[in-house]
Structure 1
Amino acid sequence: MKKKYLALCVSNALIVTSLSLGSMQAQANSDLTFSDKIVKVNGHVGLIAETQDTVYYDPTGSKTGKATYRENSIIDTALTFQEYPLDIFYAFKQFTDEYRSADGLDNQLEEGLKHLILLSTDYYIGNGLNVGASLNNEFASSDRVYSGPWINGRYGKSEHLLEASAFVDYWNSRQGFGAYSYATYKYSNLVNDQQAGADWGDYDINGWAISTRPTMNFDSINIGVEFYYGKDESTGNVTDSHLQDFEEWLVEPSISYTGPYGTLTVRHRYAQQTTTQNGGQDEYFTTVNKTTIGYNYSYNSWRLGGEVEFTHNDNEADTSWSGGKIDNGKNEVTRFMIFGQYAF
């Protein structure tokens, strides 16, 4: 779940940052009162819906289960203050997460709500250089119903994520190239009543990440590549013990074409993930290959678009019980997302 939230935070930060670029050189008008300035805003209201299917396979290639995640926005809005260097993004979403094992014995259904509040500010230094910071605050609460051979019943879950980021954005309009870079620190607390009394029933995640994405324009074509590295540490709150380390690095080249009928973007991500548990005795490795195809079109004040993603994850394990590195199965993910926004 933490990677899903992190990806959401980054994408929302980019959305709000893009809204602020048009007003980063705005100067406050001393003739206006505070009440006049505070109502001078632009932004958007919109809706987002996505669905994600994950199919799990064991090392022999046999299907072990399938999970389906759905998320729909109830409220999705962003505000950019023209007289102040402040952007606000708020989203209220409903989600479901359903899992069924291939043999039909293990069935789980989770339903919940998310609140997301993101504050972002930036300052234009000059010569194409812009700096800023953002603070993301997320709350999620849900109930998960288990029906299976080992666990049965309804259990509550909750997560609180706090993420602070600083970014540097550079663009040379004359040469048509630039880069967007950021550094992030995050704190997350997760509570799962199904494991109440155990460390995995109430634990904290502390993590950080750095990323840079150079990009260049060739007329209607934009080419870029992102380089990312992040690391998390999980600590149980019951016994205050270290649970696991998670680290990831990735490279993601992208190409987009903008024409009279919108923008088409293709990205491919290659990532390596490592999870370490049991004092370093157990390690789990995942190789990620993810291709994303996105399209968006703007007409007057409307913006419509969507994405489709195809991900293949190969898993390996090197643990105290495996006797060396072994195949630990794979999973394949298909995700669809559509959105609509009205700008004002």
Structure 2
Amino acid sequence: MNKTILSVLVANAMFASNAVADTFSTSPDSAEQDFFATIVDGTGGSIGAFFEKEDKKAYNEDGSLIGKNEYTENSIITGFLYNKELPVSLNYSLKQIQNKWRTADGSFSQIDDGFQVSTNLRYNRGLGRGFSTGLGWATEFERSDRNQSNTKGDLTQDQHEFYTFLGYWNNDWKGGFYSELSYGMTNETNSLDAGLWGDKDTTYYKVLFKPYKSFGKFFAGVEFYYEDKDTDGRDGSFLENFEEWYIEPELAYSFDFGGRLFVKQRYSEKTTTQTNGDSYFGTVNKTTVGYQHNFKNWSVSGEVEIFNEDKDAKAEWTGNEKIGNGHEEYNKLKLMAQYRF
């Protein structure tokens, strides 16, 4: 299942509070025409393509393979729009997604094919003295067909996330921070599941804080993150609570010829507590290495992720003792190309 990724924006966009008022300071006859001409001329952004492939393997505690999962995203269109006269920006994308699962012995297989539409609308406001703030509304809609062995069904996912952010940049010190607080709601349905999990609602909140600093061509930052999520079933009854926190340091180096190389290392702790009191734990180590290159109006980038999650369980079936519950590992490739206008 695709997850919404929190995009950390370290650049602070500053907008003058009287920009629109200045536009209307011309004569009454030409004010409206001049305003819309300015809007058109001041519009910019980017348009491009995105590809992601993830290969995951799940193992039992004894090391035996449970199954393999392959997830891919192919963007039909992805882009970004802004206007220098208006304090708003928009990210958008339309993607084709596929999720395949097959058990190690081949006794069960599942393929999801569908589309995902996502948007992220942001309102930005400069506060002066290097501070900026704003509000955002992100959406994600998925529609997929599920082929499960010899059975076919439909999957849906509708997600809305509302957030506010505060950023700071000190030009003399060459450093600052980005922080974000968000609240979201998700509804997921599975026509093949007539039980409580076949139509579930999730509410969550997230907190993110990332200080960073430039040292000439070097960049250093560290991201702190916490998420708390509750899921209710078809009849409104509580199903489970999920908590995650992580810390992710980042180092980057910018080359004179327009390239940027970066590496991130994430350590994460996850806890899932179900309504019957059973608890499941995950300890994650994830390494990300990426490269971005800018030339003229083009930007291309690539990332490789290497992920390992060790799992534990404390449940009735474990005698209410915390024991090992296997692990998962995956590698992920991301490629992106964008044209700026």
Q: TM-score, normalised by structure 1?
A: 0.92
> What is the CA distance between 1:23 and its match in structure 2?
5.6
- Residue by residue, what CA displacement relative to the aligned partner does 1:4-38 show, whole Å, maximum 9, x if unpaired? 4232xx12xx46x85xx456348232245342233
For residue 101 of structure 2, the aligned residue among 96, 99, 116 is 99
For residue 114 of structure 2, the aligned residue among 109, 112, 115 is 112
Paired letter, 2:232? T
**Mean Cα displacement is larger for which, 33-42 or 268-277?**
33-42
Q: How does 1:17-96 map to 2 (within 5 A)?
A: 18=11, 21-22=12-13, 24-25=15-16, 27-28=19-20, 29-30=23-24, 31=26, 33=32, 34-39=35-40, 40-96=42-98
Counterpart CA distance in 2 for 1:334 and 1:109 is 19
Mark the runs of 5 or more structure 2 residues left unpaired by the alignment.
none
Q: How does 1:1-344 map to 2 (within 5 A)?
A: 1=1, 4-7=2-5, 10-11=6-7, 14=8, 18=11, 21-22=12-13, 24-25=15-16, 27-28=19-20, 29-30=23-24, 31=26, 33=32, 34-39=35-40, 40-147=42-149, 152-196=150-194, 198-237=195-234, 239-261=235-257, 262-279=259-276, 281-323=277-319, 324-344=321-341
Instruction: Give the share of equivalent positions with the same residue, in percent.
Output: 35
Counterpart CA distance in 2 for 1:329 and 1:291 is 20
Query: Which contiguous aligned blocks of 4+ residues in structure 1 show a shift greater than 6 angstroms?
Result: none
- Whether the aligned pair in 1 keeps the contact of 2:13 and 2:124 (CA below 8 Å) is no
- Whether the aligned pair in 2 keeps the contact of 1:23 and 1:82 (CA below 8 Å) is no
- Whether the aligned pair in 2 keeps the contact of 1:292 and 1:309 (CA below 8 Å) is yes
Paired letter, 2:39? I
- Whether the aligned pair in 1 keeps the contact of 2:185 and 2:204 (CA below 8 Å) is yes
**Mean Cα displacement is larger for which, 23-32 or 296-305?**
23-32
> What is the CA distance between 1:59 and its match in structure 2?
0.5
Number of matched residues? Answer: 328
Structure index of larger Rg: 2
Q: TM-score, normalised by structure 2?
A: 0.93
- Whether the aligned pair in 1 keeps the contact of 2:183 and 2:205 (CA below 8 Å) is yes
Counterpart CA distance in 2 for 1:175 and 1:308 is 32
Paired letter, 2:120? L
